[in-house]
Amino acid sequence: MSVDVQTVKRVARLARIAVSEDDAQRMTGELNAILGFVEQLNEVNVLGVEPMTSVTPMAMKKRQDVVTDGNKAADIVANAPATEEGFFLVPKVVE
């Protein structure tokens, strides 16, 4: 399988990365080189093979459903580019 420039632009949109026309052209070639490389996986007979979900067989650890942390609002917003009164500030989402 290979991708065209339109597909690259659509994927960039899904990934929320702005791309220029030049970027999209260049990425098309790069992505096709990688997709060409991974194509060989189709040679492998995977009939009846389970997809891997965990490298080490283990039961998911569960913890008590109790509050172990909190009261850290100032820490949480400390690194944000824009905040107001303990909230993250973003451009208007709803008109």
Partner 1 sequence: MTDLTRLTIAEARTKLRDKEFTATELTDAYLAAIDAANPSLNAYVAVTHDKARAMAKTSDAKLTKGEAGALEGIPLGIKDLFATEGVHTQAASHILDGFKPRYESTVTANLWADGAVMLGKLNMDEFAMGSSNETSYYGPVVNPWRANGSNKQLVPGGSSGGSAAAVSGFLCAGATATDTGGSIRQPAAFTGTVGIKPTYGRCSRWGTVAFASSLDQAGPIARDVRDAAILLKSMASVDAKDTTSVDRPIPDYEAAIGRPIKGMKVGIPKEYRMDGMPEEIEALWQKGIAWLKEAGAEIVDISLPHTKYALPAYYIVAPAEASSNLARYDGVRYGLRVPGKDIVEMYENTRAAGFGREVKRRIMIGTYVLSAGYYDAYYLQAQKVRTLIKKDFEDAFHAGVDVILTPATPSAAFGIADQDMNADPVKMYLNDIFTVTVNMAGLPGIAVPAGLDASGLPLGLQLIGRPFDEETLFQTAHVIEQAAGRFQPQKWW
Do 66 and 42 contact (CB within 8 A), yes or no?
Answer: no
Nearer to partner 1 by C-beta: 25 or 82? 82
Map tokens 């303990």 to a residue.
86
- Where are any strands of DSSP class E within the chain? 83-84, 87-88
The footprint of partner 1 on residues 50-89 (CB under 8 A) is: 50-56, 58, 60-61, 63, 72, 75-76, 78-82, 88
- CA torsion angle for 49, 50, 53, 58 (degrees, to 10)? -110
Query: Which residues sit at the interface with partner 1, rule CB under 8 A?
Result: 1, 3, 7-8, 11-19, 27, 30-31, 33-35, 37-42, 44, 46, 49-56, 58, 60-61, 63, 72, 75-76, 78-82, 88, 90-93
